């Protein structure tokens, strides 16, 4: 391991003066207020804060689901804030793996079909190799035996593992998880978080929105939001 910090790697994710406003009856609501963040490759970051603090808005901006009202967002050399919606969809499919709290698996597709969807959309793997790639991911997550079942036939923990496999389908450099343990028991939560942390150890950048402080041992850095501001950042330089 390289422990030389005299010349740190450049930021993979860089936010500068990012704000996000929404219209409201009183004029507008500022969900994010001039946020500045640098995140480097291989970090495992927790984003925490009370309800309404701006956590989900920050994740939506980082993943291109939402656009900043002001400021700039650069990820791996790409100025995300300047992309069209069509360009964002292609970029997101190749660069970001998203894990949702409620899994978001399509109920009429089998697990293997759900996991293959990002590959079908982005054409990152030849059609003939997608099932093998999917089974490899499901094997890594311990649910290869569930591949041809429908999501409704799986437990909550198995569905979340399938959702993680789908997020990894295109081998994205960044994985973003929005409350991934919110509907899981404590044992399964630990297993899911340990797997996400292992992705960071392998070089991926992992950002997780969570309200569960007892999971802090899995993270290398914690960013706390309050009323749209960064209240604290354990990894700030």
Half-sphere exposure of 51 (CA within 13 A, CB side): 0
Helices and strands (H, E) in the chain, number of each type: 6, 10
Query: Does residue 124 sit within a domain?
Result: yes
Q: Supply the mean pLDDT for the chain.
A: 90
**What's the number of domains the chain is made of?**
1
176 strand-pairing partners: 98, 207
97: domain CATH number is 3.40.50.300
41: Cβ–Cβ under 8 A, 6 or more apart, which residues? 9, 12, 173, 203, 204, 205
- Domain limits at 146? 41-67+84-233
Weakest-pLDDT range from 7-11, 82-86, 166-170, 232-236:
7-11
**What are the pLDDT digits (tens) for 54-108?**
999 999 999 988 999 999 999 998 999 899 988 998 899 889 999 987 889 999 9
Q: What is the mean pLDDT of residues 2-14?
A: 65
Q: What's this model's pTM, rounded to 2 decimal places? A: 0.88
Query: Does residue 3 sit within a domain?
Result: no
What is the structure's pLDDT at 4?
Answer: 46
Query: Does residue 113 sit within a domain?
Result: yes
27 strand-pairing partners: 24
Q: Which percentage of the chain shows pLDDT scores above 70?
A: 95
């Amino acid at each position: 391991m390289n422990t030389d910090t005299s010349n740190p790697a450049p930021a993979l994710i860089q936010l500068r003066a990012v704000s996000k406003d929404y219209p409201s009856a009183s004029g507008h609501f500022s969900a994010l207020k001039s946020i500045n963040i640098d995140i480097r490759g291989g970090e495992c970051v927790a984003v925490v804060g009370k309800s309404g603090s701006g956590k989900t808005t920050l994740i939506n901006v980082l993943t291109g689901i939402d656009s900043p009202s002001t400021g700039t967002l650069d990820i791996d050399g790409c100025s995300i804030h300047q992309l069209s919606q069509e360009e964002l969809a292609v970029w997101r499919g190749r660069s970001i793996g998203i894990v949702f709290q409620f899994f978001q698996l399509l109920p009429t597709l089998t697990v293997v079909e759900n996991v293959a969807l990002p590959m079908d959309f982005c054409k990152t793997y030849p059609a003939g190799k997608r099932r093998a790639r999917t089974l490899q991911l499901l094997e890594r997550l311990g649910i290869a035996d569930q591949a041809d079942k429908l999501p409704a036939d799986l437990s909550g923990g198995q569905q979340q593992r399938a959702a993680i496999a789908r997020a990894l389908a295109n081998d994205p450099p960044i994985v973003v998880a929005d409350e991934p343990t919110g509907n899981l028991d404590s044992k399964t939560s630990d297993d899911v978080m340990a797997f996400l942390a292992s992705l960071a150890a392998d070089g991926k950048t992992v950002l997780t929105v969570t309200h569960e402080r007892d999971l802090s041992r899995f993270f290398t850095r914690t960013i706390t939001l309050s009323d749209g501001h960064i209240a604290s950042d354990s990894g700030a330089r």
